[in-house]
Structures are given as C-alpha cells and as structure tokens.
A = this chain, B = another copy of it.
Amino acid sequence: MINAMINTLSLQDTAELIREALSSRRFIVMICMCEAQYIGRARSFLEKGERLIVIKEDTSFLIHRPTELEPVNWQPPPNHISISLGENCVILTVRRVRKPERVVVKIYSFKGFFSDKLSDNGSFHMHLSEKEISEILRKHPELIEDGFRIVSTEFREKAGIIDVLGVDAKGRRTIVEIKKDKAGKDAVKQVLRYVREAGTGVRAILLSPNITPEAEKMLRKNGLEFKKISMLELSRIITYEEHSESSMSRFLRGE
C-alpha cells in the first residue's frame, strides 16, 4: 500500500502502520525526517534531516541521504527490527541477529510511505568476457585457490592460448582454462590438449559457471579439475573495488 496521507496520521497510528508492515514482511519505503545512531564496530551519529529509509523483505536495512551513491547507514540481513514510541518520534531499532551491531532511528515526521510485497522472479544475467575474468583473477589469484600464483595470462602454446598459467601452493605448474558459459566436452578436450603438450606433473583446472554432466565425467576420468565461478560475484568484486579505491584515494587526499 502507498499512503499519501502519512503526514496527517498521528505518530501512534504511523507506528502501528510500520509494525504491521514489518510483521507481514513487506518491502517498506519511508521518506522522513530522522536522526540515526549506530553502535557496532564503530559508533556514529547522524543528525536530523530528510532521508529515504528502506527495509527489505529479508530485513536488509538502508538509510540514504539526498545525495551520494552509498547509504549513510545500513545493516545486512538478518536483522531484528522493532518499533516504539518516543517523545515526538517513532523509534525504529534495527539489531543484527548474529553480530553486536544496531542502528537506532528516531523518525519525527513523514513525507512518504510505501509498503507492499514485491513480486520479483526475474533472473539476473551477467556477461563478462573470458579476458575480463582473467583480468580479475590476475588481481585475485586466491579466487582460483589459496596460495595460487599467476605466472602468465594468455600464454601461447602450440595447442592454443592458455588463459592462465600459474603455480599452486605446493609449487605445481597449473593450467587454468576459463569458460564464461556452461562448459561442455569441447572445453575438456581443449584442456586435455594443453595438458598433453605441457607434459607430466601439470595440474589443470577448468573454471566456469557450470559444466555438463558428460563433460564433468570426461574431466574426472582424465584427472582434470573443475571449479565453479559466479559471474555476479565476480562483477561485484570489481565494482566494490572501484568504490574502495575511490574511498581510499579520497582518504589519501585527506577529504
């Protein structure tokens, strides 16, 4: 439901409205005048102002100011969320279930309120090229395996171009073949050609979002290995890195 008259309701009625939306696990959007205190790994206080508060169906919690991409306060799910009445305000307490962290928000008035179950079964498809994946792995060889060191990417051999050539934690030479789509028998055959050319004692890992049952059987039979990768997580890694880098560079400039 959307409530255009939210600003005419008493705080008590508003609290009741939020409590009801929370108990039926609806998606809640509030545009309101609020202040927020965070106590956890650090402590913070956000003075009064108009902001967007979002409580998702899984209790993910976000407070957004009128500008800036990042939320000013947030808590990952699961949270335990409770409502009470304070002096001239509704008090929203958002406690993380598994960590000693909480945000306490005092809401003084409302400009907008929405709560409803959202229907969203759409899939999210991420496309990264094999070259883009190999660039991410070059920065994060630990994603292949702990202790993995990359020696070369796009290494030319007679049998073709090897995506990643490296050394594992035990010092063994390792070939990594990346497939951005479900890997089939052709991919396994390709890896086998590389391994045969490279000689004995070489490990080979096929890295892809998925593999067909026949390809996996063929792979195991030949002593090769399969490692699943998630395109969405890969894309998140690069995006969060861009954010962290920009935070760090701002930090370094003392901003």
Would B247 and A127 count as touching, CB distance under 8 A?
no
Would A120 and B50 count as touching, CB distance under 8 A?
yes
Tell me, yes or no, whether A238 is within 8 Å of chain B by CB: yes
Tell me, yes or no, whether A122 is within 8 Å of chain B by CB: yes
Would B54 and A52 count as touching, CB distance under 8 A?
yes
Known: A237-B247, A247-B236, A248-B237. A2 touches B111 (CB 8 A): yes
Closest to A68 in B: B60
Residue among A65, A76, A118, A127 with max Cβ neighbours from chain B (10 Å)? A118
CA distance A114 to B4 in the complex (A): 9
Would A49 and B119 count as touching, CB distance under 8 A?
yes
CA distance A244 to B237 in the complex (A): 6
Stretch of A86-94, A167-175, A224-232 on the interface side: A224-232
Tell me, yes or no, whether A165 is within 8 Å of chain B by CB: no
- Measured between beta carbons, the chain B residues less than 8 angstroms from A121 are 49
Chain A interfacial residues counted at CB < 8 A: 82
- Measured between beta carbons, the chain B residues less than 8 angstroms from A116 are 31, 111-112
Interface residues of A (CB under 8 A from B): 2-4, 6, 27, 29, 31, 35, 41-52, 54, 56-58, 60-62, 64-70, 72, 74-77, 111-112, 114, 116-128, 132, 140, 142-143, 227-231, 233-241, 243-244, 247-248, 250-252, 254-255
Kindly list 18 other residue pairs between chains A and B, CB separation below 8 angstroms, not including A42-B126, A56-B68: A2-B6, A2-B112, A31-B116, A42-B132, A42-B235, A43-B126, A43-B127, A44-B124, A44-B126, A44-B127, A47-B125, A56-B66, A60-B67, A62-B69, A143-B252, A233-B250, A233-B255, A241-B244
